Amino acid sequence: MHDDLDSLEAQSIYILREAYSRIKPMAMLWSLGKDSNVMIWLAKKAFLGKVPFPVAHLDTGLEFPETYAFRDRYATEWALELIKDACPPLEATDPTLPHNSRVAARKTLGLKAAIAKYQWKGVIAGIRRDEQATRAKERVFSPRDDAGAWDFRDQPPELWDHFAADLPDGVHMRVHPLLHWTELDIWRYIKREAIPVVPLYFANAENKRFRSLGEIGITFPISSPARNIDEIIAELAVTREPERAGRAMDHDSEDAFERLRVAGYM
């Protein structure tokens, strides 16, 4: 029986194949969270079991031990061409940003450095429109200027899955194959496909778990008794708490996240 997950999967695979056929060289960002794990799973399906481009973990050195262990295990099991470049230090970020946003901005600088180093013309990222209001303004194929910046007021139209992938010199394209998914879709697909995730998503003895997984010091667990995927899916059906409630950077000044995104954050 064809269900809505089949439709979501088919559209994402179409986007990945379109991107790979039209943009080279290209890489996929791997935050090690649930969304980017789904994205790698879809890429394996799209290209006969082998991800055909590098997978980049922009490393702040602040991941949880469980997250590093997950990366090292599945990079090998999934036969990924893994790039794990270190991000620049906090001192290199914009000092006018709030502290939590400055920590996050290290990844922006790390991405810009990687684009310059590897000369990527395309970067695939696992963001979703339902995650955060600024991300809701995104396109599936989203051009960035020569400084990596994003002008959300001037984006190409995307009608009937016709994507504008042409790029002038000096710019690159962000590609978002999960933009049309919801958090609930992601967990239902993880369950259906038995996709591995970092165990921090499941409640510990204190009934705490991570709903959105980021770095130590700027990401915190939420109160939740959900100890398996079925319980997470049931919880999402009734909760009114935002997905990124545990992300300290989302509680910075009102425009901080939009400033990060405009400057090139994922």
Q: What pLDDT is attached to residue 101?
A: 79
Q: What pLDDT is attached to residue 264?
A: 60
Q: What pLDDT is attached to residue 166?
A: 73
Rounded mean pLDDT for each run of 10 residues along the chain, 266 residues in total: 87 96 95 96 97 96 95 97 93 83 84 93 93 79 79 74 74 92 96 97 96 88 95 92 73 62 63
According to CATH, the superfamily of the domain at 4-181 is HUPs (3.40.50.620)
Domain range summary for the chain, segments of one domain joined by +: 4-181
Q: How many Å from the N-terminal Cα to the C-terminal Cα in the chain? A: 35
Model confidence, pTM: 0.88
Q: What pLDDT is attached to residue 231?
A: 97
Coil, helix or strand at residue 262: helix
Q: Quote the strand ranges of the chain, DSSP E.
A: 26-29, 55-56, 82-83, 122-124, 141-144, 172-175, 208-209, 222-223
Coil, helix or strand at residue 182: coil
Please name every residue paired with 216 in a beta bridge, in sequence order, or none if there are none: 219
Q: What pLDDT is attached to residue 154?
A: 76
Percent of the chain with pLDDT over 70: 91
Q: What pLDDT is attached to residue 132?
A: 75
